[in-house]
Amino acid sequence: MVTVYRAAHGKIAVYGREHGVPHFPIEGPTFRCSVAIAGLEVIVGTVPALVLDEALMWEGANRDLLMQTWKELNG
């Protein structure tokens, strides 16, 4: 697992040995969800709206980093 972004309310990580569409988890003390990198939809789990908005803003500027990290860990 590689943490690529840490915020006040959670973190974005990329795990190795994953399957399915390229995605990233957003994790916090009381929630966990996975978000598809390409479509930015929550594919499993739940996350507070404030945390999701913050993560998606970060992702918009860092999509290439997320996809590169996904490919390195899962390619």
Pairing of strands 11-14, 23-28: antiparallel
In 10 A of CB 70, how many CB atoms? 20
What does the block give as tokens for 26? 């957003």
Q: Residue 53 — pLDDT band, cuts 50, 70, 90?
A: very high
Task: Read off the tokens for 11.
Answer: 């973190």
Q: Count Cβ atoms below 10 Å from residue 45 Cβ, excluding itself.
A: 13
At residue 41, the pLDDT reads 94
Domain locations in the chain as residue ranges: 2-74
Q: Is the pLDDT of residue 16 over 90?
A: yes
Q: What is the mean pLDDT of residues 18-33?
A: 94
In the predicted model, what is the mean pLDDT of the chain?
93
Provide the pLDDT confidence category of residue 62 given band limits of 50, 70 and 90: very high
User: Do residues 14 and 2 touch, judged by C-beta distance below 8 A?
Assistant: yes
> Is residue 8 over pLDDT 90?
no
Mean pLDDT for 27-37 is 96
Tokens of 19: 């399957």
